[in-house]
Chain A
Amino acid sequence: MSEVLRVTDLSTQFTTKGGVFKAIEELSFSLDRGQVLAFVGESGSGKSVTALSIMGLLNPRISKVSSGSVKLNGKEIVGATDQFLQKIRGSKISMIFQEPMTSLNPSISIGEQVSEVIQTHTGCTSAKAAESALDVLRKVGLLNAASIYNSYPHQLSGGMRQRVMIAMAVALEPDLVIADEPTTALDVTTEAGIMDLLKSLKKERKGTFILITHNLSLLQGFVDQVIVMYAGQVVERCTTEQLFNHPEHPYTIGLLGAIPQLSDLKTSLVTIKGQVPSPFDRPEGCRFAARCPFKEEVCLKPQELIEISPKHWSRCIKSPLKLDQMALRPINQTSKGLRIL
Chain B
Amino acid sequence: MSALLEVGNVRKYFTRSSPVIFNWKDKRGVKAVDGVALSINRGETLAIVGESGCGKSTLGRIMVGLLKPDEGFVDFEGVRLNSLKASELRALRQNIQIIFQDPFATLNPRLTIEQTLIEPLKNFGLHKGEELKRVVELLEMVGLSKDHLNRYPHEFSGGQRQRIGIARAISVEPKLIICDEVVSALDVSIQAQILNLLQDLQKRLGLTYVFISHDLSVVHHIADKVVVMYKGKVVESSDKQELFHRPRHPYTQVLLSSLPGTQNSLVHDTLGGEVAASASLASCAFADRCMFAVDICRKQEPKLEIYQHPTHLVSCHKKENLPDFDTSYLDAPAQSLESIRLQSFQSYFA
Contact = CB atoms under 8 A, between A and B. Distances in A.
Contacts of B158: 43
Interface in A211-248: 214-218, 220-221, 245-247
- For chain B, the bracket of interface size reads 35 or more
B235 to A, nearest CB: 14
A292 to B, nearest CB: 9
Nearest to A44: B157
A272 B195 CA distance: 13
Contact of B338 (A159, A192, A245): A245
B331 A254 contact: no
B348 A334 contact: yes
Contacts of B335: 340
Given A42-B189, A189-B273, A246 B330 contact: no
Contacts of A267: 221
Given A263-B331, A264-B332, A271-B193, A188 B346 contact: no
A337 B346 contact: yes
Q: Chain B contact residues: over half helix, strand or loop, or mixed?
A: helix
- By secondary structure, the A interface counts as loop
Interface string B39-65: 000000000000110000000000000
B332 A195 contact: no
B283 interface: no
Pick from A189, A195, A258, A293 the residue with the most CB of B within 10 Å: A189
Contact of B344 (A246, A250, A259, A323): A323
B258 A191 contact: yes
A254 to B, nearest CB: 5
Nearest to A275: B157
Interface of B: 51-52, 157-159, 187-193, 195-196, 214-218, 220-221, 241, 244, 254-255, 257-263, 268-269, 271-275, 329-333, 335-336, 338-350
Interface of A: 42-43, 141, 143, 157-160, 163, 187-193, 195-196, 214-218, 220-221, 245-247, 250, 253-265, 267-273, 275, 293-294, 321, 323, 326, 329, 331, 334-340
29 contacts: A43-B158, A43-B187, A143-B272, A159-B273, A160-B274, A188-B215, A188-B255, A189-B254, A191-B258, A217-B259, A218-B260, A245-B338, A255-B188, A256-B346, A259-B217, A260-B192, A261-B333, A262-B262, A263-B330, A263-B331, A267-B221, A268-B350, A272-B349, A326-B348, A329-B347, A331-B347, A335-B350, A336-B350, A337-B346
- A-B pairs, top 4 by smallest CB distance, nearest first, are A192-B258, A336-B350, A258-B192, A269-B192
Given A215-B260, A255-B189, A271-B193, 16 more contacts: A141-B272, A143-B272, A188-B214, A189-B258, A193-B258, A217-B261, A246-B338, A258-B189, A260-B220, A263-B329, A263-B332, A275-B159, A323-B341, A334-B350, A340-B340, A340-B343
